[in-house]
Amino acid sequence: MRDFQTTIAERISLSGAGVHSGAPVTISFSPADPDTGIVFHRLDGSGGSHEIRALVSEVGTTDLSTTLANRAGVTISTVEHVMAAIAGSGIDNTIIEIDGPEVPILDGTSSAFLDAFEQAGFVRQAAKRRFIRVLKTSRIEAGASWAEFRPYDGTRYEVEIDFETPVIGRQKFASDMDEATFRKEISRARTFGFMRDVEKLWAAGLALGSSLDNSLVIGDDNSVINPGGLRYKDEFVRHKALDAIGDLALAGAPFIGCFRSYRGGHRLNAAALRALLSDHTAFEIVEMAGKRGQSRGASLVAVNAPVFAPWAI
C-alpha cells in the first residue's frame, strides 16, 4: 500500500477506436501535481478543451459502459478500463487529454494502458496519499442484484456473476487487490457480449467498433467463437471485477475495505459507491502515519478531509 501519491514520469499517448462509436480517438496522459486527481480534458478540435473530473459525481449514463459528463453536458464514455488501469497502477494524479467522445477500446482490457504507464514510468510525490476506509457495511439491492462495502484490513474484491448461458454460468472472483494481482489476475480479461445482440446494438448505433480483436464473443451455439478461446477459465467474472475496479476508482481516492457484488454492473457499482460516500458514518479519510521512506509498520490515521474533497458527491 503506497503511502505517498504517484504520477507518471512523462507524457504518453495511445490511439484506437471507440467500441461503440467505432470512431478513431487518441488519448494522452501527462504528469500532474499532487492532489490534482484524475482529470479528463476533452479536446474540441478548435484548440479548446472541456474539463471533466473522474469522480462518481460526474457519472452520467451507465447502460453499457460508464460515461462521465460535466455541467456543460460534455461527455466521455467507456472510462472504466482506463480507470481500472490507473487504479491498478497506483496512479493518483494525471491529466488525460482525449480528442473524441469515447476512450479507445484497444484490446478490450486494461493491459495496453498498464504497459503505457510502465513505459512512461512513475514518480513518487511529496504529498501523502489519502484513503477511504470503510467503517461499516453499506449495501444496496436492485431486484436479485446487490452490492456492498464491508470493513476490511486491506483492499478486496468479491465479485459474482450468474448467467443462464452455459458457457458462463455462475462464476466468482475473490481476492485481495494490489498492483501485482491486478496485472496478473485481472488486467487481460476482455469485455464480452453475445452474437445474438449484435444486430440490435448496431441498429442503436452501438458496438460499431467491436470485433474479435477487442471483445470476447459468445456465439449462437453458446460457445466462445474467438480464436484461442478464453485467457482465463473464468475470464467473464474477471472482466466484471475489472469493470468494478474502474468504476470504484471514481471515488477519488483508493478505498480500504471489501467490495462485494452479485449480478452487478456499471449502474450498480456507481450506486453502491454513491451510497457509501453519502453516509459519512460509513467511512473515514485516512493516511499513513509513518514518515517518508518509513511506511513499513506505519499505521493509518484519520485526517480531516479538505474543504473540497474529491470524493464528495
Q: What's the pLDDT tens digit per position in 250-280?
A: 999 999 999 999 999 999 999 999 999 999 9
Catalytic residue among 41, 50, 266, 280: 266
Structural domain for 14, as ranges: 4-129
User: CATH code at 192?
Assistant: 3.30.1700.10
Q: Are residues 141 and 49 in the same domain?
A: no
Torsion of CA 235, 238, 243, 247, to 10 degrees: 180
Q: Are residues 205 and 67 in the same domain?
A: no
Residues 6+ apart with CB under 8 A from 41: 49, 50, 51, 52, 95, 96, 97, 98
Distances (CA, A) of 128 to 33, 62, 112, 152: 12, 32, 28, 21
Q: Are residues 26 and 116 in the same domain?
A: yes
- Has 50 been labeled as part of a binding site? no
Other C-beta atoms closer than 10 Å to the C-beta of 122 total: 16
Residue 50 is among the residues annotated as catalytic for this protein: no
pLDDT band of 28, cuts 50, 70, 90: very high
- Has 81 been labeled as part of a binding site? yes
Is residue 45 predicted with pLDDT exceeding 90? no
Q: Are residues 137 and 12 in the same domain?
A: no
pLDDT computed for residue 308 by the predictor: 39
Interatomic CA distance for residues 120 and 94, integer angstroms = 12
Q: Are residues 160 and 278 in the same domain?
A: yes
Residues 6+ apart with CB under 8 A from 48: none
Domain boundary among 76, 110, 129: 129
* Amino acid identity at 73: G
Distances (CA, A) of 23 to 43, 104, 135, 190: 15, 9, 43, 20
pLDDT computed for residue 295 by the predictor: 45
Q: Look over the chain and give the mean of its residue pLDDT values, rounded to a whole number.
A: 92
Residues 6+ apart with CB under 8 A from 46: none
Q: Are residues 240 and 110 in the same domain?
A: no
pLDDT band of 303, cuts 50, 70, 90: confident
pTM: 0.93
* Amino acid identity at 218: I
Instruction: Give me the helices (H) in the chain, please.
Output: 80-89, 111-120, 179-181, 198-203, 235-248, 266-278
Report the sign of the C-alpha dihedral through residues 236, 141, 65, 112, in that order: negative
**303 found inside a domain:** no
Is residue 286 predicted with pLDDT exceeding 80? yes
**301 found inside a domain:** no
Is residue 307 predicted with pLDDT exceeding 50? no
- Has 243 been labeled as part of a binding site? yes
Residue 124 CA to chain centroid, in angstroms? 21
Beta strands in 163-226 (DSSP E): 170-176, 192-194, 216-218
Report the sign of the C-alpha dihedral through residues 250, 151, 188, 65, in that order: negative
pLDDT digits (tens, 9 = 90+) for 180-231: 999 999 999 999 989 888 778 778 877 788 889 999 999 988 999 999 999 9
Average the pLDDT over each of 14-23, 65-74, 117-126, 179-188 and give the range with the smallest value: 14-23
Interatomic CA distance for residues 2 and 294, integer angstroms = 11
